[in-house]
Structure 1
Amino acid sequence: MNVIDLGGTATAWLRAPIKPASVHVINLAHDDQDLPDWLRTEVGDACDLPKRILGNGYDLVFSNAVIEHVGGYARRQAFADSVHSLAGKFWVQTPYRYFPVEPHVLFPFYQFLPVTTRARINRFWPLVHTKARDRPTALQDALEIELIGRAEMALLFPGARMRAERVAGLTKSLIAIRA
């Protein structure tokens, strides 16, 4: 299988228990580690891929917890358009907007708080993944994450099967799948 991973990392694929025939990772961050022949990385924007990537004939598009970071509905639609253009099959996962604990900062109902409150949490909450060093960075970090719900996922990925990952009976994340 020829897989393209939008927003992933080479390290995740090197640790994966199953290795596809080839994996092409597209990410905004550069990855300069030595990689096996079946794995390659490239710097790129999944919302605005060059034609040479779009016409590459992949078997599967994989994306884990990226779509909520691309910035606004228009960019999420562009991301979904890339997914649809790259392959007939896809697996796109995102944290669910209505899960009570926001997964990036591990703070209850964070996603529903005012931006200034979220920025303060980003600076001082002990469980945040990476604490912001100053207020402008904290504000930017707060605005970067836009969790989405089931209706928007269904709109972005029409005809896909929606699967819910659950924790304690609550939907933690959504996966749009077309097999």
Structure 2
Amino acid sequence: MSLVKKVADNSSTASLSHSMRYKRFVYFKSLIDKLNKPVTILDIGGTQEYWINMGVDSKDIKITLLNLSLQTTTSPNFLSVVGDATNLSEYANRSFDIVFSNSVIEHLFTKENQGRMAREVMRVGKYHFIQTPNYYFPMEPHFLFPGFQFLPKSVRVLLINKFNLGHICRKGNIEDARSIVEEIRLLKTKEMQELFPKSIIWKEKFAGLAKSIVAHNLS
């Protein structure tokens, strides 16, 4: 395995990214273990496979998986629904005990959309636990290219159009490449605090640097 994949490839269970994701989940579980059961969770962008891999398949935890398309579920503890993270109008206020999300809020193209998601998260959940990669971490996690987020947009589009980078396959179409680049808007700590103003900001660190940022109100 290359050094890049060892650090940032979420698809590899041997990668640093996977290891940190598991440690983050252990932290999350330590917080929700204090809540009264049963617990209802809305996971924005999640899969049953993720929760099962993390050791969660309990009748005391009911998880609704909200995505742009239906996900495969095989356990009665999981429900897959189609929805939009920026508009959860189908759910009343405080419909869920917890709204949970890994690496979704940076995929919403604009700051305005990120604000809409944050407001909906805080509206429908009594608690929330929202993670996103840190803008300032040197290795961009989607394209697995050091400093990719700091390059001019035109250069990022050119690289995506010409090469296979990270989790993104080469498209061979400049407009597709531009859309991919525009989809990702990494967030800084200050921005996460502004989006979730009453939340605890918890940072995952590697080599002294914050690799990702979590906003939560589970304390």
Asked whether the two chains share a fold, i.e. TM above 0.5, the reply is: yes
Maintained 8 Å contact 2:132/2:213: yes
**Whole-Å separation in 1 of the counterparts to 2:95 and 2:70:** 23
**Whole-Å separation in 2 of the counterparts to 1:72 and 1:50:** 20
Maintained 8 Å contact 1:60/1:87: yes
| Unpaired runs of at least 5, structure 2 | 1-38
Query: Residue 113 of structure 2 corresponds to which residue in structure 1?
Result: 75
Maintained 8 Å contact 1:90/1:177: yes
| Unpaired runs of at least 5, structure 1 | none
Maintained 8 Å contact 1:160/1:178: yes
Question: Equivalent residues in 2 for 1:1-179 (5 A)?
Answer: 1-19=39-57, 21-31=61-71, 33-51=72-90, 53-55=91-93, 57-134=95-172, 135-179=174-218
C-alpha deviation, 1:133, in angstroms: 1.5
Letter in 2 for 1:39: F
SS in 2 for 1:59: strand
Q: Percent identity at matched positions?
A: 33
What TM-score do the two structures reach when normalised by structure 2?
0.76
| CA spacing shift, 1:36–1:175, aligned 2, 3 Å | same
**Whole-Å separation in 1 of the counterparts to 2:162 and 2:175:** 14
CA RMSD of aligned residues (A): 1.6
- Alpha-carbon displacement from aligned partner over 1:116-160 (angstroms, at most 9, x marks no partner): 211222234454212232222111111110001011100110121
C-alpha deviation, 1:113, in angstroms: 1.1
Letter in 1 for 2:69: A
**Whole-Å separation in 1 of the counterparts to 2:191 and 2:121:** 15
C-alpha deviation, 1:15, in angstroms: 2.1
Of structures 1 and 2, the one scoring higher in RCO (CA 8 A, sep 6+) is: 1
C-alpha deviation, 1:11, in angstroms: 2.2
Q: How many residues align?
A: 177
C-alpha deviation, 1:17, in angstroms: 1.0
What TM-score do the two structures reach when normalised by structure 1?
0.92
SS in 2 for 1:54: coil
Maintained 8 Å contact 1:54/1:82: no
C-alpha deviation, 1:18, in angstroms: 2.4
